[in-house]
């Protein structure tokens, strides 16, 4: 069993900032102390630690007020902490530990922190764990001060609601609410399904007719497809034969074009080749001029080398000859030097003069050669320039010829395009006329369709207005039927309920029946009233008054005896069962003397209230009856010869041993029910009339529905026709718009093409002018170029080359002569220089020099031979270049002649190709159009599921006839009828199954709701029996009296309350709300203890619930709590000695300096101050 084992309190309410520990044990634990000591704060601390957040439950204005605030010397943070330790040896709390400690700390800001076994946790988790162990806080296991008082003031409905909450009947209500929602949905679905089935059956009949029309329409469509396929196949054969002829013509033209193209390509290749050869020749001519300059330079260099080598050879040979001559002459010369010195000087001077003359002659020759070279170079430059000009001129001519060819081609294309545009304009004008005629016809037809549409709209609106009125009538009638059904149902239930009661009362023939028969005729019969109407009394005397005179309350009061006799006769005539009549004037006046005995309260008539005129009635009925305090006192008075009745309803006749006891009787009010019988009969007649009226309403509703369905059918037919006409009209409008757009586009296209045609005329004139201009420019360019200048340049180059050759020969001769003269002067100078002093040295070195000269001669001879060979080759090249430059003019003229011939042929071929291209373009367009037509016709055949092999004949009449029938059917055709017929037929079959399913679902929901109601009722009755049993046992144990619970209305438990009856010893029974304050407290405590049986808790916290009990009842409560504490822990704050005596563990709480302290009494002898 889970129980509280220890509580540690720190800074909570009256407990200061010092840890206070309180140990608890299973069983009854008592906490006592003076008022204001803080004993209840221990229970507040426990519920605070267990998660209570309502400050008023812990008797505080707010949570921060729970922190101890009397200790002003505390300097640390202000907080409160309560730790509650539970014994969990049975593991009811879902924590695997024998001890579970829950701690709650709260700061001065009101923020709380929870721990379980020092582990931080949130409040909801703690509440959930305690709920698992059934140890969560409720008003029944933590009973606060004032809770008992509130329970004692509970109404009967609140008592019932308390039991319902404890056993959790809201679960059944939630299930019932959900089930009722499902039942409503099931009823709606079933109602909708039934309505749909009726509508669907009518739709099936209508759709069958529409389906047959649709099938006929489809058959006509298939026949039209077949005939149209035949028509398309005939057209296809015709177009294919035309296509074959055009393809043959196209292939011929294409072959001719390819042949001319090849010829044109060949000519262009030849033109390109000749142009390239001419360009190469011109380039070579330029290269020849450059090569000539190079050769002249090389000739000059090689000539220099040759002359140098020849001069060196000759010089060396002469030197060698001189040496050979010198050697024998040296001696003679030496001998004759002195003799011939003057002669030598003269010779030397003569030689120098000769060399000077030779040099002058050489310079003249060099200048002539340079002048000749300059002239040759100038002529060559002129030739190159002329060749370049010739090349540029040829290129210009070629460009002009290309432009001329393009212009001629453009002219041909422009003329062809102009012809095509003019042809297109004519065709478009013809098409526009046809389209304008078609547009006029379409507009006329559109006007007719607009009138038809307007008529259909008017018809549809009239039908729709009628349907709307019928719908309003139908809705009103349906609303009336629903209201009348509701009224009929409620009236029938009420009438049946009251009729059964009336029948029962009439069958019994009670005196109330007599009263009811006389009630409506009181004035006529002279009736003053009835006893129960004129008398009244206080509630506490009701039992005594009813016990003493209950038989006379239905008596009739009349003014005198004559009225009594006449009324009795009326009752006999009407065969009424029973009647008591009291005449007012016949009641004797008497005053009863009361005996002087113990327990007598007075004459009973003195406790009856009535008007003054009815006092005799009170004296007559109650004037001889004494009211006693108890039944014993009444019995004593009876023995003394008086009629007596106790206040609890015990009536004793005079000197009788029998007693009449009234426990809980009431004056029956069947008279009202019986009086209502005529009204109920009238109500039943009205119900019959109302039922007939409802039947009439339903009959009218069916007629309206039939008429509405007929109008709906007419409306749908009208809407279908209107839709068909509207579709036709919209299609016609789109055709008119399309035709109008086509006409506008054709007009625009004609205007654009005329503008193009007008632009082509000046363009063609411009092109012709351009052609003539190009021809004239070619002619002028050719005239500007002259071949005479080229010929004169060639002759001049030849003359200059010849002159240069003779000058080179003269130069060679002069150079040879100069070399000899220089050799002579060299010898003379040598001999002069050396003179005599060197002759000897010369003689010694001349032999070596002779050998060197021989070697030099050999070397230079080799160089001379090489140079001579090169000079021969260079002169041959020079001669070749000269001859080539002489024939270049004739070669260029030849190239021009060839180019002119081929260009003329190419222009002719180009014109032929252009003509063929235009013709091919026309054929290609025709073939493309034919191909599109063939493709369209094949698509038509494929779409209809046929090929071109189909048999053909004239199908136009058949097509026209079938189209008329198809159009007549189309106006009332429902295209979806076959599909909808199948779908709706299938759906109708499934609807029947669905309806059965819905009925089964509804019955299942109804059965489920009945089961819920039954379970809820049985659960409540079981709980009621438990509480009633506990109340009976506990009250008897505590007081010796009786207490029990009663249902106010067993037929309708949950709309009525629970009555709590208390009967103390020697007292009549009373309801718990009409007893004294102390008795209420006792009753409430018993009720609380009884309710705890419904949901037992392992521990209970009672805070002075015995405060208003007297000592005997408090002792009884302590005894009961002691018995119950054997299975649970009871921690009870009480000031009653009886509770303290029964407790196993007692705590005393006392205040000291504003702080609560605790004293523990374990053995009731040794006091120990708790730490």
Does residue 1168 carry a pLDDT above 50? Answer: no
Distance CA 227, CA 957 (A): 10
**pLDDT tens digits, one per residue of 1065-1091:** 888 888 888 888 778 888 888 888 888
Quote the pLDDT of residue 523.
74
Which range (357-366, 419-428, 869-878) has the least confidence?
A: 869-878
Average pLDDT over residues 72-90: 80
Distance CA 790, CA 779 (A): 20
**pLDDT tens digits, one per residue of 171-225:** 777 887 888 888 888 788 777 777 777 777 777 777 777 777 777 777 777 777 7
Contacts of 768 (CB under 8 A, 6+ apart): 411
CATH for the 1-138+1104-1111+1119-1171 domain, from 3.40.50.720, 3.40.50.300, 2.30.30.40, 3.20.20.210: 3.40.50.300
**pLDDT tens digits, one per residue of 504-538:** 454 444 555 556 666 666 777 788 888 888 888 88
pLDDT: is 126 or 463 the higher one?
A: 126
Strand partners, 1148: 32, 1159
Quote the pLDDT of residue 508.
44
Q: 1087 is written with which tokens?
A: 């009720």
Quote the pLDDT of residue 539.
84
Query: pLDDT grade, residue 102 (50/70/90)?
Result: very high
Does residue 830 carry a pLDDT above 60? Answer: no
DSSP secondary structure letter of residue 649: S
Please give the angle made by the CA atoms of 1120, 1125 and 1127, to the nearest 5 degrees: 120
Quote the pLDDT of residue 571.
76
Distance CA 970, CA 963 (A): 10
Quote the pLDDT of residue 4.
92
Does residue 371 carry a pLDDT above 90? Answer: no
Contact 725, 452 (CB under 8 A): yes
Distance CA 219, CA 200 (A): 27
Domain-wise residue ranges, the chain: 1-138+1104-1111+1119-1171, 511-667
What is the pairing mode between strands 581-583 and 556-558? parallel
**pLDDT tens digits, one per residue of 965-994:** 777 777 777 777 777 777 777 776 677 777
Strand partners, 386: none
Contact 1031, 1045 (CB under 8 A): yes
Please give the angle made by the CA atoms of 874, 876 and 879, to the nearest 5 degrees: 110
Query: pLDDT grade, residue 116 (50/70/90)?
Result: very high
Contact 1086, 1035 (CB under 8 A): yes
Quote the pLDDT of residue 86.
93
Distance CA 436, CA 743 (A): 7
In 3D space, the residue among 964, 448, 211 whose CA is nearest the CA of residue 456 turns out to be 448
Handedness of CA 211, 217, 221, 223 (dihedral sign): positive
Q: 150 is written with which tokens?
A: 């509130």
Query: pLDDT grade, residue 485 (50/70/90)?
Result: confident
109-112 LR contacts (CB < 8 Å, sep 24+): 109/64, 110/62, 110/63, 110/64, 112/53, 112/63
Query: What DSSP line would sit under 1020-1056, residue for residue?
Result: HHHHHHHHHHHHHHHHHHHHSSEEEEEES-GGGGGGS
* Number of residues assigned to the chain: 1171
Distance CA 959, CA 232 (A): 13
Strand partners, 116: 102, 119
DSSP secondary structure letter of residue 1068: -
Distance CA 306, CA 870 (A): 10
Distance CA 1085, CA 1094 (A): 15
Residue bearing tokens 């090929």: 947
Distance CA 1062, CA 27 (A): 30
How many CB atoms are closer than 10 A to CB 1101?
Answer: 25
Residue bearing tokens 């599909």: 979
Distance CA 1117, CA 1124 (A): 10
Contacts of 728 (CB under 8 A, 6+ apart): 449
Query: pLDDT grade, residue 588 (50/70/90)?
Result: confident
Strand partners, 113: 105
Does residue 1115 carry a pLDDT above 70? Answer: yes
Please give the angle made by the CA atoms of 1051, 1054 and 1055, to the nearest 5 degrees: 80
Average pLDDT over residues 861-870: 77
Query: pLDDT grade, residue 168 (50/70/90)?
Result: confident
Distance CA 215, CA 361 (A): 131
Q: 1047 is written with which tokens?
A: 């249902």
Tell me, which fold does domain 511-667 have in CATH? Answer: Alpha-Beta Plaits (3.30.70)
Quote the pLDDT of residue 822.
63
Quote the pLDDT of residue 1170.
43
Average pLDDT over residues 591-614: 83
Which range (117-121, 175-179, 338-342, 609-613) has the least confidence?
A: 338-342
Average pLDDT over residues 390-410: 73
Average pLDDT over residues 795-809: 69
Segments of 592-658 assigned E as strands: 600-603, 608-609, 625-628, 643-646, 650-652
In 3D space, the residue among 295, 274, 279, 278 whose CA is nearest the CA of residue 380 turns out to be 295
Quote the pLDDT of residue 114.
94
Contact 654, 638 (CB under 8 A): yes
Quote the pLDDT of residue 311.
64
Distance CA 459, CA 467 (A): 12
Which range (178-182, 276-280, 492-496, 732-736) has the least confidence?
A: 492-496
Q: 732 is written with which tokens?
A: 């016609």
Quote the pLDDT of residue 1148.
92
pLDDT: is 75 or 169 the higher one?
A: 169
Does residue 1020 carry a pLDDT above 80? Answer: yes
Average pLDDT over residues 1012-1022: 84
Does residue 141 carry a pLDDT above 60? Answer: yes
Which range (201-215, 629-643, 813-827) has the least confidence?
A: 813-827
Distance CA 841, CA 586 (A): 222
Quote the pLDDT of residue 287.
66
Question: How far apart, in Å, are the Cα atoms of 1006 and each of 186, 592, 1111?
Answer: 10, 68, 56
Q: Kindly tell me the burial class for residue 439, based on how many C-beta atoms sit within 10 Å of its own C-beta (0-12, 13-18, 19 or more).
A: middle
Query: pLDDT grade, residue 790 (50/70/90)?
Result: low
Let me know if the fold of 1-138+1104-1111+1119-1171 is the same as that of 511-667: no
Does residue 557 carry a pLDDT above 60? Answer: yes
pLDDT: is 828 or 204 the higher one?
A: 204
Per-range mean pLDDT, top range of 90-99, 224-233, 473-482, 893-902? 90-99
Question: How far apart, in Å, are the Cα atoms of 968 and each of 222, 408, 964?
Answer: 16, 64, 6
Mean confidence (pLDDT) of the chain: 77
Please give the angle made by the CA atoms of 692, 697 and 698, to the nearest 5 degrees: 95
Quote the pLDDT of residue 501.
55
In 3D space, the residue among 710, 801, 709, 718 whose CA is nearest the CA of residue 292 turns out to be 801
* Percent of the chain with pLDDT strictly greater than 70: 78
Quote the pLDDT of residue 76.
56
- Helix (H) or strand (E) run with residue 531 in it: helix 531-534
* Percent of the chain with pLDDT strictly greater than 90: 4
Q: Model-level pTM? A: 0.37
């Amino acid at each position: 069993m889970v129980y509280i084992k220890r509580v540690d309190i720190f800074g909570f309410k009256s407990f200061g900032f010092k840890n206070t520990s309180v140990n608890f044990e299973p069983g009854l634990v008592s906490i006592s102390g003076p008022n204001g000591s803080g004993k209840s704060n221990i229970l507040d601390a426990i519920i605070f630690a267990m998660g209570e957040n309502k400050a008023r439950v812990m008797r505080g204005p707010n949570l921060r007020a729970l922190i101890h605030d009397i200790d002003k010397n505390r300097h640390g943070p202000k907080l409160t902490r309560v730790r509650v330790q539970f014994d969990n040896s049975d593991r009811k709390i879902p924590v695997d530990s024998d001890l579970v400690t829950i701690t709650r700390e709260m700061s001065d800001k009101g923020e709380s922190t929870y721990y379980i076994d020092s582990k931080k946790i949130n409040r909801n988790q703690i509440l959930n764990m305690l709920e698992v162990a059934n140890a969560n806080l409720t008003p029944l296991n933590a009973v606060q001060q004032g809770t008992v008082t509130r329970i004692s003031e509970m109404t009967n409905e609140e008592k019932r609601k308390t039991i319902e909450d404890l056993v959790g009947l809201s679960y059944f209500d939630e299930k019932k609410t959900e089930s009722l929602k499902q039942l409503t949905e099931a009823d709606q679905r079933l109602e909708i399904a039934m309505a749909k089935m009726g509508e669907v059956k009518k739709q099936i009949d209508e759709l069958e007719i529409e389906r047959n029309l649709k099938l006929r329409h489809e058959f006509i469509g298939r026949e039209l497809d077949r005939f149209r396929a035949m028509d398309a196949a005939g057209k296809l054969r015709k177009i294919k034969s035309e296509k074959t002829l055009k393809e043959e013509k196209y292939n011929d033209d294409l072959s001719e074009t390819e042949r001319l193209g090849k010829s044109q390509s060949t000519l262009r290749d030849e033109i390109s080749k000749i142009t390239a050869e001419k360009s190469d020749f011109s380039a070579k001519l330029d290269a020849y001029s450059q090569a000539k300059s190079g050769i002249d330079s090389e000739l000059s260099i090689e000539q220099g080398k040759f002359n140098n080598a020849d001069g060196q050879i000759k010089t060396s040979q002469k030197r060698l000859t001189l040496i050979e001559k010198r050697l024998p002459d040296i001696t003679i010369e030496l001998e004759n030097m002195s003799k011939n010195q003057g002669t030598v000087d003269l010779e030397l001077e003569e030689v120098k003069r000769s060399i000077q003359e030779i040099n002058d002659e050489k310079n003249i020759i060099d200048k002539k050669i340079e002048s000749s070279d300059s002239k040759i170079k100038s002529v060559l430059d002129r030739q190159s320039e002329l060749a370049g000009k010739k090349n540029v001129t040829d290129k210009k001519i070629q460009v002009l010829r290309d432009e001329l060819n393009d212009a001629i081609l453009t002219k041909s294309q422009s003329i062809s395009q102009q012809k095509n545009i003019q042809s297109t304009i004519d065709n478009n004008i013809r098409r526009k006329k046809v389209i304008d005629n078609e547009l006029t016809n379409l507009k006329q037809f559109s006007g007719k369709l607009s009138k038809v549409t307007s008529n259909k709209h008017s018809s549809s609106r009239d039908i729709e207005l009628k349907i709307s009125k019928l719908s309003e009538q139908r809705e009103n009638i349906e609303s009336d039927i629903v209201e009348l059904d509701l009224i009929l149902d409620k009236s029938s239930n009420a009438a049946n309920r009251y009729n059964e009661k009336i029948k029962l009362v009439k069958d019994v023939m009670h005196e109330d029946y007599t009263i009811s028969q006389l009630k409506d005729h009181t004035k006529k019969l002279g009736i003053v009233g009835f006893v129960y109407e004129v008398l009244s009394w206080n509630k506490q005397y009701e039992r005594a008054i009813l016990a003493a005179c209950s038989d006379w309350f239905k008596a009739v009061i009349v003014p005198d005896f004559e009225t009594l006799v006449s009324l009795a006769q009326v009752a006999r005539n009407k065969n009424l069962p029973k009647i008591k009549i009291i005449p007012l004037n016949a009641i004797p006046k008497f005053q009863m003397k009361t005996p002087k005995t113990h327990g007598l309260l007075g004459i009973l008539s003195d406790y009856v209230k009535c008007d003054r005129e009815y006092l005799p009635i009170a004296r007559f009925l109650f004037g001889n009856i004494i009211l006693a305090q108890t039944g014993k006192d009444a019995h004593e008075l009876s023995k003394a010869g008086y009629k007596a009745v106790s206040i609890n309803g015990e009536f004793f006749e005079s000197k009788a041993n029998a007693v009449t006891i009234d426990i809980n009787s009431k004056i029956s009010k069947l008279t009202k029910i019986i009086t209502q019988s005529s009204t109920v009969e009238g109500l039943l007649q009205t119900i019959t009339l109302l039922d007939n009226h409802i039947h009439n309403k339903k009959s009218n509703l069916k007629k309206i529905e039939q008429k509405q369905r007929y109008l709906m059918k007419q409306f749908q037919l009208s809407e279908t026709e209107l839709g068909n006409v509207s579709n036709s009209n919209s299609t016609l409008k789109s055709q008119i718009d399309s035709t109008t757009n086509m006409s506008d586009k054709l007009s625009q296209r004609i205007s654009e093409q005329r503008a193009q045609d007008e632009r082509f005329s000046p363009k063609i004139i411009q092109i012709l002018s351009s052609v003539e201009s190009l021809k004239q420019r070619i002619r002028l360019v050719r005239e500007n170029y002259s071949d005479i200048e080229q010929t004169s340049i060639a002759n001049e180059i030849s003359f200059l080359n010849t002159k240069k050759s003779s000058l080179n020969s003269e130069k060679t001769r002069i150079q040879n002569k100069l070399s000899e003269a220089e050799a002579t002067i060299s010898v003379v100078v040598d001999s002069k220089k050396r003179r005599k002093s060197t002759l000897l040295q010369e003689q010694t070195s001349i032999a070596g020099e002779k050998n060197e000269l021989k070697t030099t001669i050999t070397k230079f001879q080799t160089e001379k031979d090489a140079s001579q060979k090169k000079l021969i080759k260079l002169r041959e090249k020079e001669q070749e270049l000269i001859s080539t430059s002489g024939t270049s003019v004739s070669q260029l003229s030849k190239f021009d002649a060839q180019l002119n011939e081929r260009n003329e042929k190419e222009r002719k071929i180009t014109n032929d190709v252009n003509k063929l291209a235009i013709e091919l373009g026309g054929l290609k367009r025709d073939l493309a159009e034919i191909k599109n037509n063939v493709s369209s016709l094949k698509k038509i055949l494929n779409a209809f599921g046929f090929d071109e092999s189909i048999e053909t004949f004239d199908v136009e009449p058949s097509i026209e006839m079938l189209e008329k029938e198809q159009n007549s059917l189309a106006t009332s055709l429902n295209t979806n009828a076959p599909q909808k017929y199948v779908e709706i037929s299938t759906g109708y079959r499934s609807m029947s199954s669905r309806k059965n399913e819905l009925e089964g679902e509804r019955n299942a929901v109804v059965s489920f709701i009945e089961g819920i109601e039954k379970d809820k009722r049985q659960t409540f009755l079981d709980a009621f029996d438990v509480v009633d049993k506990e109340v009976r046992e506990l009250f008897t144990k505590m007081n010796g009296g009786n207490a029990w619970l009663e249902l106010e209305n067993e037929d309708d438990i949950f709309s009525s309350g629970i009555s709590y009856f208390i009967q103390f010893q020697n007292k009549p029974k009373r309801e718990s709300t009409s007893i004294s304050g102390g008795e209420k407290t006792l009753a409430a405590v018993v009720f609380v203890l009884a309710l705890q049986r419904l949901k037992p808790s392992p521990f209970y916290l009672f805070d002075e619930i015995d405060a208003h009990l007297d000592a005997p009842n408090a002792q009884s409560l302590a005894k009961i709590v002691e018995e119950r504490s054997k299975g649970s822990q009871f921690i009870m704050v009480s000031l009653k000695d009886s509770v303290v005596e029964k407790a196993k563990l007692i705590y005393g709480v006392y205040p000291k300096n504003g702080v609560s302290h605790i004293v523990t009494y374990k053995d009731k002898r040794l006091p120990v101050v708790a730490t």
